[in-house]
Amino acid sequence: MKKTTKLLAPLVLIPALALSSCADEAQEQMNESDSGDNTLTVYTSEPQEKIDEIIDAFAEVNPDAEIDVFRAGTGELKTRVASEKETGEIQADVILAADVPTFEDYAAEGDLAELNLENTDSLDDSYVDEDNYWVGTRLIPTIIAVNTDVISEEDEPSLWQDLTNSDYEGQIAMPNPDVSGAAAFNTAVWRSSDELGDQWLEDLVANDPTILESNGPVGQAVGEGTTGLGIVVDYVIRDLADQGSPVKVVYPEDGAPYVSQPAGVFADSDNQELANQFVDFLISEDGQQMAAEQSYLPVRDDVGVPEGAPELADLNLMDPDLEEIAAEQDEAVSYFNGLLK
C-alpha cells in the first residue's frame, strides 16, 4: 500500500484568499495523484503516530489501497472543508474527527453519504447515528490529569467543581476550544450542566488556566510539571504514564464529558466502497483491538480496555442531549472565549 501524509497549515490564521488558494492546491494535489478505485483521502484529527498505525493495519487487509492523509485539529479541518465547499467539492473521502456536533452539521448540510457497514450491530446504539451518516469509533473522555510530583494525593481534585478552588490558581492547563473539537464539545456540555453552567466556567477562568493549542500540549505541560493539573482527554495521560511521566488520570466523580471520535464518508467521494471499508475497519474487532492498544477506550465491549483503564460499565459519563449540544456549541465556545478577554 502506498501511504502519504500531509500536514495542514494553521488555517485559522490564514485570510480567506489564502484559504481558497489552499483549496486550489489541494485540488491540484488530488488531480496529480494516481486516480482509481484504490485511492482514498482521509481527513483526521488523530495524532500522527496513531493514524499511521491505523493505516498500516488497514493495509494488511487492503494491500492495494493508496491512502492520502491530511491531519490537523478539528477546527482547522472544518475550516479546510468549508473552503473546499466554497471553491468546488470536498476533497476528502473520509473524515475521522472528534465530536458528534460537527458530523450532525455536515449531515444536515448534505455533505455526508449514508454509510454501508457490517459491524454496526456490535456497537451500542448511542455510537451509531440513527440516520446512518456517522459512527463512533472510540470513546474519549475528558478527565482531570494530575502531576503527582506537584499535587499530592490528598490535595488532588475529584470533581470538576474542585478546579475552581483558589489553591489551584495558575495550576490548570486546558486545550483551546477553537482548535480542539473535544474541547469545544466539552465547553457546551459543561455550560448545559445544571451543576456547572456559566458560573462554573466563570470561576474556572478566574483561576487563570493556561490555554494551550490542543490536548497534546496540555498533556506535555502536566507531564513536565509546568502545571500541576490538566483538563485533557484520558488517553494522552495514559500514554505519558506508560512513558514514565509522574501523571495520573482522575475521572471526575460528577461525570466525564466524552466524544466518540466519529467517522463518516463525504457525499462528494468518488470511492464510496473503499471509504466504507475503511470506516468499517475502524469498528471491526481488529480495529477496536488496535484502538485499545493505542490507549483508547473502545466502542465495542468484546475487546477489553487499555491496561490501567476502567471498565466501560464503571465509568460515570456525562450524556447530554447531542442535538442540544450541537445547537449550542458555537455559542458556548464564544462565551468561554469572551471570559478569557
pLDDT tens digit string along 51-110? 999 999 999 999 999 999 999 988 899 999 999 999 999 999 999 997 888 999 999 999
Local confidence band at 260 (pLDDT 50, 70, 90 cut-offs) = very high
Count other Cβ atoms within 10 Å, centred on residue 319. Answer: 10
Task: Classify residue 212 by its DSSP letter.
Answer: E
Are residue 116 and residue 191 in the same domain, yes or no? Answer: no
Rounded to two decimals, the pTM is: 0.83
Are residue 99 and residue 148 in the same domain, yes or no? Answer: no
Q: Which cell numbers hold the place of 119?
A: 459491524
pLDDT tens digit string along 32-61? 444 457 899 999 999 999 999 999 999 999
- Quick check: 336 and 201 in contact, CB under 8 A? yes
CA dihedral (272, 290, 224, 190) positive or negative? positive
Are residue 127 and residue 149 in the same domain, yes or no? Answer: no
Average pLDDT (210-233) is: 97
Note whether residue 165 is domain-resident: yes
Are residue 225 and residue 125 in the same domain, yes or no? Answer: no
pLDDT tens digit string along 135-174? 999 999 999 999 999 999 999 999 999 999 999 999 999 9
* Alpha carbons 29 and 21: distance in angstroms, whole number: 12
Local confidence band at 261 (pLDDT 50, 70, 90 cut-offs) = very high
What is the reported pLDDT for 204?
98
Are residue 334 and residue 215 in the same domain, yes or no? Answer: yes
Note whether residue 21 is domain-resident: no
Is residue 3's pLDDT more than 70? no
Are residue 247 and residue 279 in the same domain, yes or no? Answer: no
* Alpha carbons 295 and 249: distance in angstroms, whole number: 12
Nearest-5° Cα angle at 304, 308 to 156: 25
Note whether residue 290 is domain-resident: yes
- Quick check: 215 and 175 in contact, CB under 8 A? yes
* Alpha carbons 297 and 312: distance in angstroms, whole number: 8
Average pLDDT (111-133) is: 95
Are residue 248 and residue 281 in the same domain, yes or no? Answer: no
| Nearest 10 degrees: Cα torsion 204, 200, 100, 286 | 60
What domain range includes position 225?
141-258+330-340
Are residue 235 and residue 179 in the same domain, yes or no? Answer: yes
Residue 241: CATH number of its domain: 3.40.190.10
What is the reported pLDDT for 322?
87
Note whether residue 125 is domain-resident: yes
Is residue 15's pLDDT more than 70? no
* Alpha carbons 36 and 265: distance in angstroms, whole number: 17
Higher pLDDT, 321 or 27: 321
What's the structural domain count of the chain? 2
What is the reported pLDDT for 141?
96
Task: Classify residue 130 by its DSSP letter.
Answer: T
